[in-house]
Structure 1
């Protein structure tokens, strides 16, 4: 499967698929999807996103953990007895040998955390058939990470990638610096169809230069040309695995429901955003729709498996669901895992 965007149809789309309107009222987006990031009011939208995050998430996701994810941290702490489910890579062999009882080394969160974002704004993100475009949802996810991570001297940086290349935004402390970084991300030019995006190279930029342990967040739909075949290792998996060796990594996958299944709208013209070529598909064929849904499910399962093999956390945000609730549920699940002795 390739990255497809609808450019026309044999008949009108069914009313069950709502579309995000540039002129929608602010309260229309607060209920689920993020506000649309139009160029003429990007500053207002970013401030509204800050209010949404701080009102609904601030205070719910706080505690003694490293950044957004309740993880093991990076500084050595005390040792405790081993419990089933603990990461054996954190075994404290010196204490184990001295006491003859298995012990693991606990770690504590850094007081000053450096968080890096890798935000994919390729042409496939300029698509959405529900409450917003995937691009808006990607920037909303970046805003959530920024406003929850930037506190107490924590620094935030970003690598933004689109069809024109990758841009590194240096890490700086403070909420004003974070707001300026989000503004630059929101104002990044849209990629043109036919301009491929090097997601693997952008993720690898987070590995250079080597930094002390911190947090890295990759926001993308992960639909690279080599992700067509589920049996093939995506090009971004190896850099992501390398990044997870040293840092606490979270992969935020942005999905639109039309990428998972097609509606019955007759003859539909779509464009491959990687090559710019157009295709006509007959969505009235039930067997074709079932085949498409099965292929999409297999592709998403392969993406999830690649993220899991890389050792990163996986959060999926959909344009037809409440992204704030999805973040809260994800962190709650991570906390439940930690209480059972699991580190991821």
Structure 2
């Protein structure tokens, strides 16, 4: 592996570790998540549970009843789906959408492996570009980071077909996390997400967008270069801003409502945001899975 690739992977690993450890350190000081990260080992007692599984040590400290959960009950199988289509190249700031998606995937992977959960990854554009099989081994992070670094966004995407393929292949139920700008055929995308839910998977969508895509704060005559076979456009962006922002808002609302109807967790993520927002959303979802189990 070239030295520059080794350096990039090492930086991504350090970033993931720092983000996750810093986030968890703050989480332990916050009452928001109650038992904080320990939730993967306990759940609150509900009538009908076997009282022999109550953790009396926890009761003595909290005066609340918690049930011990064993490894096969708590370990989660997560598959990260990372969009590698050409539109993910775009970035008006320090990071492109794909670079930010890599940070999301790295941080979530580090968190999952830290909790001894199994994580796998698929990158895709029009087809599947790479696969990293699911594993809970601590050294598994290197395989995920290496796969992320080896890719460069290109081509269009056929997200409906990709999600359908994942649904067919994933016979064991788990959590599917899609990290994408969702610039794809809307009907195919929603059909694919619905199919994943129909097959029993929990689904989270991190909708990654650049600030410029959300705010459209361009001034002066500007050339917009089309991606994924779209043509170029030279214009005064002020004449387009109102219509563009209305269309973008409708796009976001449609995705939010469509995901809500399928009980899919959806969150718009700006590339300028701190990754804490992603981790907090993930843990909130995990708590919800525990409480409805």
TM range (shorter): 0.7 to 0.9
Of the three residues 319, 326, 331, the one matched with 2:271 is 319
Of the three residues 97, 120, 128, the one matched with 1:134 is 97
> After the TM superposition, which segments of 4 or more aligned residues of structure 1 sit over 4 Å from their partners?
77-80, 331-335, 341-344
Evaluate the alpha carbon distance shift between residue 248 and residue 163 of structure 1 in structure 2; reply closer, same or farther with a 3 A threshold. closer
> What is the CA-CA distance between 1:202 and the residue it aligns to?
2.2
Distance 1:308 1:58 in 2: 28
Of the three residues 94, 113, 118, the one matched with 1:155 is 118
The equivalent residue for 1:205 is 165
Of the three residues 48, 64, 67, the one matched with 2:14 is 48
Of the three residues 262, 275, 283, the one matched with 2:237 is 283
Distance 1:155 1:247 in 2: 15
Helix, strand or coil: the match of 2:38? coil
Does residue 169 of structure 1 match 2:169? no
CA RMSD in angstroms, aligned pairs only:
3.3
The equivalent residue for 1:189 is 152
Contact 2:101 2:180 in 1 (8 A): yes
Distance 2:183 2:24 in 1: 31
Contact 2:19 2:275 in 1 (8 A): no
Summarize deviations over 1:263-294 as a string: whole Å, max 9, x none: 24212111221214211121143xx3111111
Higher RCO (CA < 8 A, seq sep 6+):
1
Distance 1:260 1:50 in 2: 26
Helix, strand or coil: the match of 1:304? helix
Helix, strand or coil: the match of 1:249? strand
Distance 1:113 1:264 in 2: 44
Distance 1:133 1:242 in 2: 30
> What is the CA-CA distance between 1:301 and the residue it aligns to?
1.2
- TM-score norm. by structure 2 comes to 0.76
- TM-score norm. by structure 1 comes to 0.66
Distance 2:152 2:91 in 1: 18
Aligned residues: 260
The equivalent residue for 2:188 is 235
Contact 1:151 1:174 in 2 (8 A): no
Does residue 272 of structure 1 match 2:226? yes
Uncovered stretches (5+) of structure 2, i.e. residues with no partner: 28-35, 49-66
Distance 2:233 2:121 in 1: 35
Comparing 266-275 with 133-142, which one deviates more in the overlay? 266-275
Distance 1:162 1:190 in 2: 8
> What is the CA-CA distance between 1:157 and the residue it aligns to?
1.2
Contact 2:265 2:285 in 1 (8 A): no
> What is the CA-CA distance between 1:217 and the residue it aligns to?
0.7
